[in-house]
C-alpha cells in the first residue's frame, strides 16, 4: 500500500493519464457525484505518450462516416474542448485547414469528402486557385476543400489542466504508478502497482498503446491488436515558418486515412511537417533504433498484422524510405508547397499511434470500447482521439452504469 492511496476500495480507478484517461476520470466524477476515484499513470507526468506527442490539431470531423462514434464524439468533443480551453485560458486557434488536390485525378475525389463533411454538419467551401492563394499564398494546388472548423491547441497543456481539475475535485492522480497485475475477489479488483496495492469496484483501461494487452489480461478477447505505427515529424526552420498560415493537408487515401505528410502551424508558431507512419518495433519507441522483444513478437505473431502488411508492402516500404529521410519528406511537401526545400526541414519529435488492427488485417476505423467483470476498456482511440477526448470520457463513464448498478 503506497502512502498516498486509500486503504478501502475506490469506486473507480482509471489506468492511464493520457487525455482519454483524464477525461474519463472527470466524466465519472460528474456522472457519479461523491464517488472516490484515482488515476494511475506509470510515467512521472501526464500526457507522456500519444496525448503529448501528436499534431495538436482540433479536428473538424470531416472524414468520418455519419453516425459513427468518431463523427459523433469528434463533433461533441471539439465543442467541449473549445469550452474547456476558454474556461482554463488555454491558447488555441481556429486556423482552418486546406485539403488540397494537386493532381487532375485527385480533383474528383474532393467531392465525396466535401459531401461527407456537409453530412457531418460542417460549413465547407470547395475553392479554386484564386481563393487558395488568399488562404495559403504558398500552396500550389488545383482545387481544395476549405475547412474553417479545424484548429490547433497544445494538448499537453489541456491534460495538465484536467489533472489539476481532478485534484481540486478530490480525485487522486498518482504518477509513476504502473499497474503490473491484478486479481478480482468478491467483486473487488485488487490492483498491484509499482507503488503498492490499491482496490477498486470498477477499473477503467485507458492504457493507450497497451490497452489491448491489458484487456486480454482481464479475460476479454478484444478481437484486435494494437499495432504501433511511429509518426516522425520535421519542423520548418524559423526563416521558412512564414510559408504556412494554418494547416495544409494532402487528400488522404481512404484506406489509410492517417497517411500523408501535412503541415501544421502550432500554437507557439512552429510549423510541424509530418507525420509519416512506420511500423515500430516498440510500442513506446520514438526512435528507429528502439526495440522491445515482447512488443515485436506480439505484432509479428498476429495474423492481422500480416494480412495488413503483405498486400500493402509497397506503401509500407515507401513510408520506411521516408523515415528520417529529409529529401523524401521535402519531395512530398513540394507537391503542395514548391517553395519548401530540404534545407528548410529540421528534425523534430516523433509519436507512436495506438492503431487497432482486426484479425482480418483491417484498421479498426471507429472508436471501440468494451466492458465486463468490473472493467471498462477503451480499445481503439486513435486520431482524432485528442479532439474527441472529453466526449469519449462522457461516453465511457456512461457505460460504467452497467457495472455499478
Residue 304 touches ligand FAD, criterion: CB under 6 A: no
- State how far the Cα of 39 lies from the Cα of 22, in Å rounded to an integer: 7
Could you tell me the smallest distance in angstroms from the CB atom of residue 348 to ligand FAD?
11
Task: Name beta bridge partners: 199.
Answer: 190
All three cell numbers of 312, joined, read 500493402
Could you tell me the smallest distance in angstroms from the CB atom of residue 382 to ligand FAD?
5
Residue 21 touches ligand FAD, criterion: CB under 6 A: yes
- State how far the Cα of 252 lies from the Cα of 100, in Å rounded to an integer: 10
Alpha carbon 30 to chain centroid, angstroms: 24
* Dihedral pair phi/psi, residue 79, rounded to 5°: -60, -45
Instruction: For residue 262, give every residue at least 6 positions away whose Cβ sits within 8 Å of its Cβ, in sequence order, or none.
Output: 55, 247, 248, 249, 250, 273, 274
Could you tell me the smallest distance in angstroms from the CB atom of residue 231 to ligand FAD?
3
| DSSP 8-state symbol, 252 | P
Nearer to ligand FAD, 275 or 361 (CB): 275
Q: Residue for cell digits 481563393?
A: 131
Q: Where are the beta strands (DSSP E) in 237-359?
A: 247-250, 262-265, 271-274, 278-279, 345-358
Which range in 104-112, 114-122, 297-305, 349-357 contacts ligand FAD by CB under 6 A?
349-357
- State how far the Cα of 32 lies from the Cα of 14, in Å rounded to an integer: 14
- State how far the Cα of 161 lies from the Cα of 137, in Å rounded to an integer: 36
All three cell numbers of 149, joined, read 472548423
247, 261, 381, 400: which one contacts ligand FAD (CB under 6 A)? 381
Nearer to ligand FAD, 152 or 330 (CB): 152
Residue 17 touches ligand FAD, criterion: CB under 6 A: yes
Could you tell me the smallest distance in angstroms from the CB atom of residue 107 to ligand FAD?
26
Nearer to ligand FAD, 143 or 218 (CB): 218
Residue 48 touches ligand FAD, criterion: CB under 6 A: yes
Residue 59 touches ligand FAD, criterion: CB under 6 A: yes
Applying CB under 6 A, the site for ligand FAD has a residue count of 42
- State how far the Cα of 17 lies from the Cα of 21, in Å rounded to an integer: 5
Residue 386 touches ligand FAD, criterion: CB under 6 A: yes
Q: Site residues for ligand FAD, window 149-188 (CB under 6 A)?
A: 178-179
CB 328 within 8 A of CB 131: no
14, 75, 173, 206: which one contacts ligand FAD (CB under 6 A)? 206
Residue 80 touches ligand FAD, criterion: CB under 6 A: no
Residue 209 touches ligand FAD, criterion: CB under 6 A: yes
Which range in 49-57, 126-134, 285-293, 312-320 contacts ligand FAD by CB under 6 A?
49-57
Residue 250 touches ligand FAD, criterion: CB under 6 A: no
Q: Is 116 helix (H, G, I), strand (E, B) or coil?
A: helix
Residue 382 touches ligand FAD, criterion: CB under 6 A: yes
Residue 275 touches ligand FAD, criterion: CB under 6 A: yes
- Count CB-CB contacts under 10 A for residue 373: 12
The length of the chain in residues reads 405
Residue 246 touches ligand FAD, criterion: CB under 6 A: no
Nearer to ligand FAD, 41 or 136 (CB): 41
Which range in 115-123, 202-210, 242-250, 289-297 contacts ligand FAD by CB under 6 A?
202-210
Residue 95 touches ligand FAD, criterion: CB under 6 A: no
Residue 222 touches ligand FAD, criterion: CB under 6 A: no
Could you tell me the smallest distance in angstroms from the CB atom of residue 251 to ligand FAD?
17
CB 179 within 8 A of CB 191: yes
All three cell numbers of 65, joined, read 462516416
Task: Give the torsion sign (CA, 265, 99, 286, 225).
Answer: positive
String of b and e for 276-309 (b: at least 16 CB within 10 Å)?
bbbbbbbbbbbeeebeeeebbebbeebebbebbb
Residue 231 touches ligand FAD, criterion: CB under 6 A: yes
Residue 54 touches ligand FAD, criterion: CB under 6 A: yes
Residue 207 touches ligand FAD, criterion: CB under 6 A: yes
| DSSP 8-state symbol, 2 | -
Residue 282 touches ligand FAD, criterion: CB under 6 A: no
Binding residues (CB under 6 A) for ligand FAD: these are 15-21, 40-43, 47-51, 53-57, 59, 178-179, 206-210, 231, 275, 351-353, 378, 381-387
Amino acid at each position: 500500500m503506497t502512502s498516498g492511496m486509500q486503504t478501502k476500495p475506490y469506486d473507480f480507478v482509471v489506468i492511464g493519464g493520457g487525455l482519454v484517461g483524464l477525461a474519463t476520470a472527470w466524466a465519472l466524477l460528474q456522472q457519479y457525484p461523491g464517488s472516490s476515484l484515482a488515476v494511475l499513470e506509470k510515467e512521472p507526468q501526464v500526457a507522456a505518450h500519444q496525448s503529448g506527442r501528436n499534431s495538436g490539431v482540433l479536428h473538424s470531423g470531416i472524414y468520418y462516416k455519419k453516425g459513427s462514434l468518431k463523427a459523433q464524439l469528434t463533433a461533441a468533443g471539439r465543442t467541449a474542448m473549445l469550452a474547456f480551453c476558454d474556461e482554463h485560458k488555454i491558447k488555441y486557434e481556429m486556423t482552418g485547414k486546406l485539403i488540397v488536390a494537386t493532381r487532375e485525378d485527385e480533383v474528383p475525389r474532393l467531392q465525396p469528402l466535401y459531401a461527407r463533411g456537409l453530412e457531418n454538419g460542417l460549413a465547407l467551401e470547395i475553392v479554386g486557385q484564386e481563393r487558395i492563394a488568399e488562404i495559403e499564398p504558398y500552396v500550389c494546388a488545383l482545387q481544395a476543400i476549405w475547412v474553417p472548423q479545424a484548429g490547433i491547441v497544445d494538448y499537453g497543456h489541456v491534460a495538465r489542466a484536467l489533472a489539476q481539475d481532478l485534484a481540486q475535485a478530490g480525485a487522486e492522480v498518482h504518477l509513476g504508478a504502473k499497474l503490473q497485475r491484478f486479481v478480482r475477489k468478491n467483486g473487488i479488483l485488487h490492483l498491484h502497482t509499482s507503488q503498492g496495492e490499491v482496490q477498486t469496484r470498477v477499473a477503467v483501461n485507458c492504457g493507450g498503446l497497451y490497452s489491448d494487452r491489458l484487456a486480454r489480461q482481464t479475460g476479454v478477447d478484444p478481437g484486435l491488436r494494437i499495432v504501433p505505427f511511429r509518426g516522425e515529424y520535421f519542423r520548418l526552420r524559423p526563416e521558412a515558418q512564414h510559408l504556412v498560415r494554418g494547416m495544409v493537408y494532402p487528400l488522404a487515401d481512404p484506406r489509410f486515412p492517417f497517411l500523408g505528410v501535412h503541415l501544421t502551424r502550432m500554437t507557439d508558431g512552429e510549423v510541424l511537417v509530418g507525420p509519416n507512419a512506420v511500423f515500430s518495433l516498440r510500442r513506446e519507441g520514438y526512435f528507429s533504433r528502439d526495440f522491445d522483444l515482447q512488443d515485436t513478437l506480439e505484432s509479428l505473431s498476429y495474423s492481422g498484422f500480416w494480412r495488413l502488411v503483405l498486400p500493402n508492402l509497397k506503401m509500407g516500404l515507401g513510408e520506411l524510405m521516408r523515415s528520417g529521410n529529409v529529401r523524401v519528406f521535402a519531395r512530398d511537401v513540394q507537391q503542395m508547397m514548391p517553395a519548401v526545400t530540404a534545407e528548410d526541414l529540421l528534425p523534430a519529435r516523433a509519436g507512436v499511434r495506438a492503431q487497432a488492427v482486426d484479425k482480418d488485417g483491417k484498421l479498426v476505423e471507429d472508436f471501440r470500447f468494451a466492458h465486463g467483470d468490473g472493467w471498462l476498456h477503451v480499445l481503439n482511440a486513435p486520431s482524432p482521439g485528442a479532439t474527441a477526448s472529453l466526449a469519449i470520457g462522457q461516453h465511457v463513464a456512461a457505460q460504467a452504469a452497467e457495472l455499478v448498478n
